[in-house]
């Protein structure tokens, strides 16, 4: 490590910190106090792979399985020493089992006491009893051995799974590296590489510069020059920005029939009373997408990347096969699928239950992510000025969204429910990491109730994995803070999925009293399944206490079966429906009228592709 790097350097792992303290590293050598050193995270060398950069003989990188740390040494020799040391440390963890892998079997204590007493009662002699005991213990230990063997197999399988995942990552990185290398041979090197990524952004240039990793507090050197990641601001264009003005709502109409909260009566633990909810009129909406006219050609992303290595890619667009028949404007509305949670929040607040109001809002904020599970296609990037308008009396909603800026890509949206309004603004900052794409939403979402209470929050980071190999999937992680203008605020943590996570998509957090800072309720759940709450501060509860025994359901995702590979929810399927009544009233800018999207929905892929190319060409002019 060079002194310059040391100064701003960050420590990984508690052990390193202890080691540095012992060596009096920071205070003596740098004149910095120890307090400044806080371990930033941990790297599990066992499942990591270590690589030397081919383009720079001082750089090396460590793949932790989910992240890549880029490091730079002072010299070539130094790098060699580091790699040697890291590999040696990695080998210290042979692929044997950790002691806790067997914890459960070791805990089994077998007693022959009852057997002995019973036999004594029968007047059986000590010798026979001993014999019986040993027969029983032998049989049991046989069973226990079998159990251990099974457990061993299980752990080994998990281990090879992890290894496979690591190998896959390494393979993908080789692909990315080699692509870069080929480019650097050609004159336009870097430019071409970024063009490659602009394929993703449908040929549009990106204008914001890549953030340096230091923002994230990681001790990484970003290979600015060799294109480790690129800003993909426009990539996937996505759900992006929502913003709209707020006008005060007219008084609630009185035409609704009152229903009741779907789970307010059976899951209650004293605190909740019944709330009455508006019941909305039934509106018939389509339940399926049209049958595709053509057979779909399966195309992998990789096949496109591969065919375009070394070519000038500017202006090449991703074929329509990677799209789903929805635009980013329509996708914004998908966040309101579980708008009944906001209706419930309104009611609870009206009844003076502020806590349940914020809990419902938290569930609503999480529910917006549920439809992203199993979705592998990108939404259509709307054209500048494209709009989407939806009237859903069956949900008590009126929604409007518009793409208001092309560079950067900004979408604004506004929604009116019964007794509340929702609007939001954000745009997506994207980073391309070679094998994954990270999307950081910028901006705030606002919810305002007719009684004046407002809640504001922002979205968490979304990453898309398996760009090169395997099935594309996305994960959401980070902290979401919901600030309420009233007494409560809420903090939710979306847990990042690790390799072979057997419990992914977890969200947990708590509601805090704005005045006292006291934790008043805990939230747990999964963004693709359900959210629960537990009253009180679980950290003050005794050890071994399982909060789930008291958990009350706040929201559960609707279960549905999908027929298409788009994996759209019934609500999402309804979004692009075009009835004759609608056709007469829609402005020409509405997403439902976009011919390429319509063709894709009908399964006319050739037509869709040609039209998409034409529109994007026009937009660029």
Part of the chain binding ligand CLR (CB under 6 A), chosen from 235-243, 413-421, 577-585, 599-607 = 235-243
Q: How far is the CB of 145 from ligand CLR (least distance, A)?
A: 46
Stretch 471-500: interaction string toward ligand CLR, x if CB under 6 A: -x-x--------------------------
Work out whether 17 is an interface residue with ligand CLR (CB under 6 A). no
The verdict on 535 binding ligand CLR (CB under 6 A) reads no
Q: Note if the bond before 408 is cis, omega within 30 degrees.
A: yes
The Cα–Cα gap between 56 and 139 comes to 62
Tokens of 541: 């509860």
CA distances for 261 relative to 282, 359, 446, angstroms: 18, 14, 24
Question: How far apart are CB 242 and ligand CLR at their closest, in Å?
Answer: 10
- Exactly one of 192, 375, 508, 594 binds ligand CLR (CB under 6 A); that residue is 375
Binding of ligand CLR at residue 459 (CB under 6 A)? Answer: yes
Q: Which of 554, 174, 582 is nearest to 363 (CA)?
A: 554
Query: Which of 357, 378, 421, 594 touches ligand CLR (CB under 6 A)?
Result: 378
- CA 426/CA 19 separation, integer angstroms: 43
Buried/exposed 495-520: b ≥16 CB within 10 Å, e otherwise: bbbbbeeeebbbbbbbbbeeeeeebb
C-beta of residue 319 within 8 angstroms of C-beta of residue 203:
no
The CB-of-261 to ligand CLR minimum distance in angstroms stands at 27
* Of positions 238, 329, 342, 568, contacts ligand CLR by CB under 6 A: 238
**Closest by Cα among 338, 340, 398 to 572:** 338
Residues 602 and 594: their CA atoms lie apart, in Å, by: 12
Instruction: Tell me how many residues contact ligand CLR (CB under 6 A).
Output: 18
Nearer to ligand CLR, 301 or 342 (CB): 301
**In the complex, what is the shortest distance from the CB of residue 438 to ligand CLR, in angstroms, rounded to a whole number?**
11
Q: What distance in Å separates the CA atoms of residue 595 and residue 582, rounded to the nearest whole number?
A: 16
- 600 lies in the binding site for ligand CLR (CB under 6 A): no
CA separation for the pair 252, 343 (Å, rounded): 12
8-state DSSP, 75: S
The piece of 106-114, 143-151, 307-315, 373-381 that touches ligand CLR (CB under 6 A) is 373-381
330 scored as a contact of ligand CLR (CB under 6 A):
no
Residue 362 exposure: Cα atoms within 13 Å on the Cβ side: 37
Q: Is 376 in the site for ligand CLR (CB under 6 A)?
A: yes
239 binds ligand CLR, rule: CB under 6 A? yes
| Integer angstrom CA distances of residue 61 from 9, 64, 87 | 16, 10, 12
Shortest separation between residue 501's beta carbon and ligand CLR, angstroms: 18
Strands 519-526 and 530-535: antiparallel
Per CB under 6 A, does 608 bind ligand CLR? no
Q: Is residue 612 near ligand CLR by the rule CB under 6 A?
A: no
Binding mask 290-329 for ligand CLR (x = CB under 6 A): -----------x--------------------x-------
CA neighbor of 460 nearest in space, from 432, 490, 423, 493: 493
Contact residues for ligand CLR, defined by CB under 6 A: 236, 238-239, 301, 322, 372, 375-378, 428, 439, 441, 459, 462, 464, 472, 474
């Amino acid at each position: 490590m060079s002194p310059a790097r040391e100064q701003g350097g960050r420590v990984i792992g508690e052990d390193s910190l202890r080691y540095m303290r012992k060596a009096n590293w920071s205070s003596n050598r740098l004149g910095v106090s120890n307090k400044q050193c806080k371990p930033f995270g941990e790297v599990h060398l066992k499942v990591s792979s270590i690589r030397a950069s081919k383009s720079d003989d001082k750089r090396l990188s460590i793949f932790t399985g989910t992240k890549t740390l880029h490091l730079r040494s002072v010299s070539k020799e130094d790098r060699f020493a580091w790699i040697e040391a890291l590999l040696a440390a990695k080998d210290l963890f042979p692929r044997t089992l950790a002691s806790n892998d067997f914890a459960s079997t070791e805990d089994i204590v077998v007693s022959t006491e009852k057997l002995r007493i019973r036999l004594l009662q029968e007047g059986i002699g000590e010798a026979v009893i001993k014999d019986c005991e040993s027969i029983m213990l032998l049989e049991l230990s046989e069973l226990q051995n079998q159990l251990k063997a099974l457990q061993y197999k299980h752990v080994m399988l998990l281990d090879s799974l992890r290894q496979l995942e690591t190998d896959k990552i390494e393979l993908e990185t080789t692909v990315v590296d080699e692509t870069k290398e080929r480019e650097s041979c050609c004159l336009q090197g870097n430019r071409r590489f970024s063009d490659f990524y602009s394929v993703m952004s449908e040929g549009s240039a990106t204008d914001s510069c890549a953030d340096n990793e230091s923002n994230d507090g990681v001790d990484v050197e970003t290979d600015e020059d060799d294109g480790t990641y690129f800003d993909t601001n426009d990539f996937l264009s996505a759900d992006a920005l929502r913003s709209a003005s707020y006008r005060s709502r007219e008084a609630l109409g009185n035409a609704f029939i009152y229903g009741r909260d779907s789970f307010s009566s059976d899951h209650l633990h004293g605190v909740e009373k019944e709330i009455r909810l508006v019941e909305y009129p039934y509106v018939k909406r389509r339940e399926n997408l049209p049958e595709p006219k053509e057979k779909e050609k399966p195309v992998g992303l990789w096949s496109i990347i591969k065919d375009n290595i070394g070519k000038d890619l500017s202006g090449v667009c991703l074929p329509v096969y990677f799209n789903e028949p929805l635009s980013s404007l329509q996708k914004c509305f998908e966040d309101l699928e579980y708008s009944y949670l906001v209706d419930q929040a309104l009611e609870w607040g009206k009844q003076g239950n502020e806590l349940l109001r914020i809990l419902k809002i938290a569930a609503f904020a999480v529910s917006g992510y549920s439809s992203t599970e199993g979705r592998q296609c990108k939404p259509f990037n709307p054209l500048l000025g494209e709009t989407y308008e939806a009237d859903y009396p069956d949900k008590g909603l009126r929604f409007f969204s518009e793409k208001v800026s092309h560079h950067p890509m900004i979408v604004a949206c506004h929604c009116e429910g019964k007794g509340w309004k929702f609007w939001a603004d954000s745009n997506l900052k994207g980073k391309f990491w070679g094998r994954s794409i990270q999307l950081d939403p910028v901006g705030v979402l606002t919810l305002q109730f007719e009684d004046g209470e407002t809640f504001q929050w922002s979205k968490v980071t979304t990453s898309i994995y398996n760009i090169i190999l395997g099935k594309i999937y996305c994960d959401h992680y980070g902290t979401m803070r919901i600030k309420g203008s009233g007494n409560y605020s809420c903090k939710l943590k979306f847990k990042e999925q690790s390799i072979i996570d057997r419990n992914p998509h977890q969200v947990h957090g708590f509601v805090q009293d704005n005045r006292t800072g006291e934790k008043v309720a805990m939230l747990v759940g999964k963004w693709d399944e359900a959210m629960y709450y537990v009253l009180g501060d679980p950290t003050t509860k005794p050890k071994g206490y399982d909060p789930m025994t008291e958990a009350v359901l706040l929201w559960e995702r609707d279960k549905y079966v999908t027929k298409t590979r788009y994996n759209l929810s019934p609500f999402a399927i309804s979004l692009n429906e075009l009835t004759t009544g609608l056709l007469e009233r829609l402005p020409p800018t509405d997403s439902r009228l976009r011919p390429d999207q319509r063709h894709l929905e009908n399964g006319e892929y050739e037509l869709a592709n040609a039209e998409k190319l034409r529109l994007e060409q026009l937009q660029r002019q």
